[in-house]
Structure 1
């Protein structure tokens, strides 16, 4: 009886996703609807998602032969693809979220909401794989290797993958489903050069390789940064070198924009400069893995070559905090100033009674702010004698203190200003990291001056909403929408349906969620979905966006 119950849960197929086995289970159970299957699987009928499979800790006990929740995450979901460039702490937190009853802010913490690649991961299938699966196991199912973001080509058959119209943001309710030809979008009609095809294939291999690596361990952020900088050193370290590297990168990826989710890739060498700087600056989280893989496949050809260099640095080199050869470290300069102006007086001398002329000379030089240790050297006395003398002359002590602080301000201000001139492109945070001791001293003793200088430095933010040219994005999206509408009007009439447009241009949905942006695109979308050409009751097939605008 127990064995019969265990057989209620199906077994894994090769390269199968968790969503796929649940969908096959849905068919096997002959459930009335998707909610019934969700209740059987997790004990709840709440809405689910197909990409980040959560609530795994509540899986039906009849599915124990599927493996532990962690093995399901590592071997049957796309989650490990996002782990490699995260900290161990973030990976553990992500796995805990996938075990629990809600995702929370997981997509934000993994960098999906801030990197323009999109947080939606449509189901994808290869027509040839579907045919082979039906012959081999009797049913077509969702392959894990197809579902990773950025995988556009089947790694087995070399065919372009087709996206499903089901379980999309605009398609209605969630469903447990298996791939069917009628649910798949046609392959985009794009003229692909041999060079772009090779880039896409290299990215597919890199994505799958990175996913395997993410199941084992994570990269060291400092080592990643060091590998990038070492590889890019061939272009030079000055601004001209950065621009040359960015131009070469742009030529490498210029054909990717026609494919999802690479439509956000740089469209000019200037945008490539910003893209590149975001990867080679100080290590930070919330960077989409596809950004890293774009750079890795360009510089190293494969993830394996990158991992080899990364491990060499981790095993034999700790990224140094020293500055480039030929430049004097500002921190060392502070130490030199302190050691030269306040050199420790090691020779022990006994306190003595001072003659009036010597006492007067010492008091004069103290009032001018001269170092105590230099006075000890010049007059052969101890620090104790000078301290007693200053206590007996409060006015001199106050003058010495004010003069000393003034001198120190001048020295540290000079160091700060010289460093800002040397590293003119650095943000306030980067300058602060170069001069931690100077920054702390100025913050405590000269805060007003420091604050005024910090306001004049770059804020260091690249991306998010600080440097986004929304007008430019609007024009790019409008151009894509016009092209899509032209293709649809070859076989449809005005007004077009929004669902038709969303099917043909999936990124339009996520873009329009930014309600304050894309004014031109919204107006044109409204026009082609509600209006018809003047002079006729409807537009005939074969119309164009130019005709729409002229009307």
Structure 2
């Protein structure tokens, strides 16, 4: 089979700031291949359905087939893809494993391991481009290409021109999923927001610069999750409301799911400031950084200070040849001598106190006896030992129950896990010694928690998604899109989150019915649709089949 090294096609060179996917796309065009399958097999030895524009796989085969002409797999992954953006807040072992995965032929569950699938921003990273950069590239290099700085999640403005980036409608799972593409105005989705205020533009610029700076750290710096959460906690009280910080971002993809209420904002901040249970999406960290510190450099400095304060003091070994005066070890001192035999009246008082459940250290301090004397007395009298153990158990039981009930009353809005974190020793003792009572009260706490916790309201989500589809359609067609056919791909381009939401079968029934009506109805019955409640005040649409 013909490979890259045996084909006579010209070989393109790297352009300034170009992404790896862009290089492969330009090579595909220069090779004159009519099918993306030919280029994929030539460069990677893989089927064209393995084409990934964000996190490419098959890099080991790419390096071997190209003879390292464009660099090694490691250098390409760390310098020409968006992978470095996810590195600083992950562990070094995780990222080294990610590189090995991308060198293989399958992406597998890598995006899940990096926290992208469950991060709330989606694991899809659409190609983005700047029309002004497109014109400049054509005039300078004669060819358009994808800029790596535009592709990082969180970058919504062009770092050079400050204009809104346009999302590409190709290489999406609903349109042209596996293909080699170069940027052009024809495949750019027009932004739904035409003008930005100066405050909104400043926020988007700050977030985009933070994403670029975080990617620049790449594999050079690793942030410890426990130190990160503590750094956030130290500055949360001095910050403004998080809901106000992200209000502007909620209008843009993929930030539609950011908190819209004070309660949702509190949950988000609590998740980022509590003891970390895993690694989360870097966009969440970027939102916290721009909210609390404004930029990555300031956050790194505060992180360094927090990490220094959390370091344990080093233990310096003593010099074995040093004198007693030169070491920190003090010479043995003569302690207070204690009687080896118990006087009768002291013995009777000691037995009385033991029967009441007084602790051994308290007995030793009160009667000036050693702990071994107390143990000998208990072993000599099994009845006394049983009475002492029962009294101690009853005292501890009453104390732990009192502590747990106090926690429940003070933190009535908290769940069992939060109460357990307040006093781990109390929970552990009750779990070992009074489990039945603890389970009964845990069940009561769970009942309170279930009633007060805001569960996922799928009906509300369905309603908001349907309203979003209607609003985007009105806005798009009011801007002069009349006469164009509404197809499935164009609808998904208008509402980027719609495709992933509709994949949840059994959910979003109203939105699903609304979309089905839009895509299935022909123009001759358009007037009937406009009479419906969902289409009131909606401009004239020319609806086509999927």
With structure 2 as the length reference, what TM-score do the two structures score? 0.83
Partner of 1:394: 382
- The gaps in structure 1 that reach 5 residues or longer are 236-244, 321-345
Partner of 1:477: 465
Secondary structure in 2 aligned to 1:142?
Answer: coil
* Distance in structure 2 (CA, Å) of the matches to 1:401 and 1:43: 74
Q: Which moved more, 1:133-142 or 1:487-496?
A: 487-496
Partner of 1:404: 392
Judge conservation of contact 2:529–2:535 (CA < 8 Å) in 1.
no
Partner of 1:505: 495
Shift of the 392–309 alpha-carbon distance from structure 1 to 2, 3 Å rule, reads: closer
Shift of the 388–137 alpha-carbon distance from structure 1 to 2, 3 Å rule, reads: same
| 2:157 is the counterpart of 1:153 | yes
Partner of 1:197: 201
Q: Deviations over 1:192-212 (max 9, x none)?
A: 322112111111111111111
Shift of the 32–47 alpha-carbon distance from structure 1 to 2, 3 Å rule, reads: same
Q: Deviations over 1:378-426 (max 9, x none)?
A: 5555444443443343222222111112212223333444455555555
Partner of 1:19: 21
* Distance in structure 2 (CA, Å) of the matches to 1:5 and 1:426: 66
Tell me the CA shift for residue 176 of structure 1: 1.3
Shift of the 185–199 alpha-carbon distance from structure 1 to 2, 3 Å rule, reads: same
* Distance in structure 1 (CA, Å) of the matches to 2:526 and 2:255: 33
Secondary structure in 1 aligned to 2:518?
Answer: helix
Q: Which moved more, 1:493-502 or 1:453-462?
A: 453-462
Shift of the 295–395 alpha-carbon distance from structure 1 to 2, 3 Å rule, reads: same
* Distance in structure 1 (CA, Å) of the matches to 2:447 and 2:154: 31
* Distance in structure 1 (CA, Å) of the matches to 2:364 and 2:166: 83
* Distance in structure 1 (CA, Å) of the matches to 2:132 and 2:483: 33
* Distance in structure 1 (CA, Å) of the matches to 2:534 and 2:415: 50
Judge conservation of contact 1:151–1:203 (CA < 8 Å) in 2.
yes
* Distance in structure 2 (CA, Å) of the matches to 1:208 and 1:367: 70
* Distance in structure 2 (CA, Å) of the matches to 1:3 and 1:548: 58
| 2:499 is the counterpart of 1:523 | no
Judge conservation of contact 2:355–2:387 (CA < 8 Å) in 1.
yes
Judge conservation of contact 1:210–1:303 (CA < 8 Å) in 2.
yes
* Distance in structure 2 (CA, Å) of the matches to 1:422 and 1:203: 39
Secondary structure in 2 aligned to 1:478?
Answer: helix
Q: Deviations over 1:474-493 (max 9, x none)?
A: 12111111123334666557
* Distance in structure 1 (CA, Å) of the matches to 2:236 and 2:364: 53
* Distance in structure 2 (CA, Å) of the matches to 1:379 and 1:154: 80
| 2:43 is the counterpart of 1:54 | no
Partner of 2:95: 91
Secondary structure in 1 aligned to 2:13?
Answer: coil
Judge conservation of contact 1:486–1:545 (CA < 8 Å) in 2.
no
Partner of 2:127: 123
* Distance in structure 2 (CA, Å) of the matches to 1:34 and 1:63: 21
Partner of 1:112: 116
Tell me the CA shift for residue 50 of structure 1: 1.0
* Distance in structure 1 (CA, Å) of the matches to 2:386 and 2:512: 69
Tell me the CA shift for residue 14 of structure 1: 0.7
Shift of the 54–545 alpha-carbon distance from structure 1 to 2, 3 Å rule, reads: farther
Q: Deviations over 1:279-308 (max 9, x none)?
A: 222234342222222232232222222222
Q: Deviations over 1:453-493 (max 9, x none)?
A: 4445579999xx98322222212111111123334666557
Secondary structure in 1 aligned to 2:525?
Answer: coil
* Distance in structure 2 (CA, Å) of the matches to 1:4 and 1:494: 46
Partner of 1:331: none
* Distance in structure 2 (CA, Å) of the matches to 1:459 and 1:96: 46
Partner of 2:38: 36
Secondary structure in 2 aligned to 1:196?
Answer: helix
* Distance in structure 1 (CA, Å) of the matches to 2:129 and 2:448: 41
Given candidates 267, 281, 286, the residue that maps to 1:288 is 281
Partner of 1:305: 298
* Distance in structure 1 (CA, Å) of the matches to 2:350 and 2:534: 93
* Distance in structure 2 (CA, Å) of the matches to 1:270 and 1:466: 9
* Distance in structure 2 (CA, Å) of the matches to 1:133 and 1:63: 28
* Distance in structure 1 (CA, Å) of the matches to 2:118 and 2:448: 16
| 2:344 is the counterpart of 1:352 | no
Tell me the CA shift for residue 28 of structure 1: 2.5
| 2:526 is the counterpart of 1:539 | yes
Judge conservation of contact 1:223–1:319 (CA < 8 Å) in 2.
no
* Distance in structure 1 (CA, Å) of the matches to 2:137 and 2:531: 41
- The gaps in structure 2 that reach 5 residues or longer are 313-334, 539-546
Shift of the 409–53 alpha-carbon distance from structure 1 to 2, 3 Å rule, reads: same
Judge conservation of contact 1:57–1:99 (CA < 8 Å) in 2.
yes
Q: Which moved more, 1:157-166 or 1:282-291?
A: 282-291
Partner of 1:445: 433
Shift of the 544–183 alpha-carbon distance from structure 1 to 2, 3 Å rule, reads: farther
Equivalences, count: 507
Shift of the 127–459 alpha-carbon distance from structure 1 to 2, 3 Å rule, reads: farther
Partner of 2:184: 180
Secondary structure in 2 aligned to 1:178?
Answer: coil
CA RMSD across the alignment: 3.5
Tell me the CA shift for residue 276 of structure 1: 2.2
Judge conservation of contact 1:486–1:544 (CA < 8 Å) in 2.
no
Tell me the CA shift for residue 10 of structure 1: 2.9
Judge conservation of contact 1:489–1:541 (CA < 8 Å) in 2.
no
* Distance in structure 1 (CA, Å) of the matches to 2:362 and 2:176: 81
| 2:321 is the counterpart of 1:318 | no
The 5 Å alignment of 1:423-502 reads 427-457=415-445, 467-487=455-475, 491=481, 496-502=486-492
